[in-house]
Amino acid sequence: MARVSGATRSDEWYTPPVYIEAARAVLGTIDLDPASCDAANATVKAARFYTKAQDGLVQPWQGRVWLNPPYGKLAQAFVAKLVVEHECGRVPAAIALLNSNSTDPPWFQPLWDYLLCFTRGRIRFISGDGHAKFRPQNGSVFVYLGPRPQNFIKEFDRFGEVVRRAGEPRLPAVAAPERHRRPTPSFAATDNGGPLLDYETAAAYLAVSERHVRELWAKRRLAGIKVGRSVRFLEADLDAFIVSNRVSAVR
Ligand SMILES: C[S@@+](CC[C@H](N)C(=O)[O-])C[C@H]1O[C@@H](n2cnc3c(N)ncnc32)[C@H](O)[C@@H]1O
């Protein structure tokens, strides 16, 4: 979220309705707000939202997303997950609201491949009780990830300058479709993470050898879950691995 000064440094500053309504007009509907609470969702009206207690970072994301993440290090984790979920097709469209003073660190770099709207002036965020308004030290940036750039331009142009990187995207196009074919589950599905895949299926999914998957797991470069004496992999972790490799390849 936007940077706040010491005394008001808190995650409990919510997005004013005018921006939420513009986001809804672009997305059609907001299926998920992965960083929220009851008070904020009175405005966002997402069909589903995750709270701090539920931790949106470990929950499944699906559908059209509105994201104004919590302040600090968590913001980058939410952005990383957003890019992964979008690139892997589980989040077909999303709008994120971030501090426009945070465009230089590595975690922001993938976002330059999308459409950005830098606010003219500051957003006045709303407090939890709906009364106080907070004007951050910096402007904000909206990021659009989705198939309808014209809709985003139409709705957000009034808030600031809509820009896109000149030249080709730095990230290669979305991973080969065969990578995303649904592998046959080789073990029972988990509560929220989908099927658990064995080495062979994970190797097919990543388009690498089984031996390579074993090495990645041994070096802890790939997340896995111990099931008895074996190891299983979640599709979401394999997707995250694919995307983070693509991101680091362009740094
Ligand atoms: C900046 S506010 C934005 C709220 C709402 N998304 C909006 O746009 O108005 C961030 C919200 O994320 C919540 N939050 C903090 N850590 C979280 C986490 N790990 N998972 C989900 N929500 C979290 C905070 O309690 C806060 O309500």
CA angle 36, 42, 45 (to 5 degrees): 80
Question: Count of domains in the chain?
Answer: 2
What is the structure's pLDDT at 118?
98
Choose the residue to mutate in 19, 32, 52 for probing ligand 1, maximizing ligand atoms within 8 Å of C-beta: 52
Q: Is the pLDDT of residue 16 over 60?
A: yes
Beta strands in 9-136 (DSSP E): 13-14, 32-36, 48-51, 65-67, 94-99, 115-119, 125-127, 133-134
- Is there a single domain that holds both residue 65 and residue 129? yes
Q: Give the chain's mean pLDDT.
A: 83
Give the structural domain span for 27.
6-163
Q: Say yes or no: 72 and 187 in one domain.
A: no
Whether residues 118 and 20 share a domain: the answer is: yes
69 within domain boundaries: yes
Quick check: helix, strand or coil at residue 193?
coil
Last residue of a domain, one of 163, 190, 220: 163
Residue 157 forms part of a structural domain: yes
Mutate to test the pocket of ligand 1, among 8, 13, 36 (most ligand atoms within 8 A of CB): 36
**Contact indicator for 11, 1 with CB cutoff of 8 Å:** yes
Shared domain for 20 and 122, answered yes or no, is yes
- Sign of the four-CA dihedral 136, 138, 142, 143: negative
pLDDT by residue (tens digit) across 122-163? 999 998 777 777 778 889 999 999 999 999 999 999 999 999
Site of tokens 């672009």 = 26
Same domain? 99 vs 153: yes
Domain boundary residue, one of 136, 163, 190: 163
What does the pLDDT read at residue 194?
A: 63
What is the CATH number for 194?
1.10.1660
Q: Tens digits of per-residue pLDDT, 46-91? A: 999 999 999 998 888 999 999 999 988 889 889 988 988 888 788 9
Note whether 159 and 39 are same-domain residues: yes
- Rounded CA Rg of the chain: 19
Do 159 and 218 belong to one domain?
no
Query: Does the residue 170 lie in any domain?
Result: no
User: Which is nearest to 143 in space by CA: 84, 98, 182?
Assistant: 98
Asked whether residue 88 is domain-assigned, the answer is yes
Domain assignment present for 1: no
Residue 29 sits in the same domain as residue 79: yes
Q: Cα of 11 to ligand 1 centre, how many Å? A: 6
| pLDDT of the residue at 122 | 94
**Domain at 30, CATH number:** 3.40.50.150
- Kindly state whether residues 211 and 136 are assigned to the same domain: no
> Is position 105 within any domain?
yes
- Do 90 and 141 belong to one domain? yes
Same domain membership, residue 144 and residue 218: no
Is there a domain that residue 218 lies in? yes
Query: Does residue 168 belong to any structural domain of this protein?
Result: no
Question: Which is more confident, 196 or 99?
Answer: 99
Task: For residues 13 and 121, state if they share a domain.
Answer: yes
Average pLDDT over residues 30-40: 97
Rounded distance from Cα 182 to ligand 1 centre (Å): 32
Asked if residue 11 has its Cβ within 6 Å of ligand 1, the reply is yes
Ligand 1 centroid, distance to 69 Cα (angstroms):
6
Please identify, among 163, 189, 212, the residue that sits at the C-terminal boundary of a domain. Answer: 163
Residue 192 has pLDDT above 60, yes or no: no
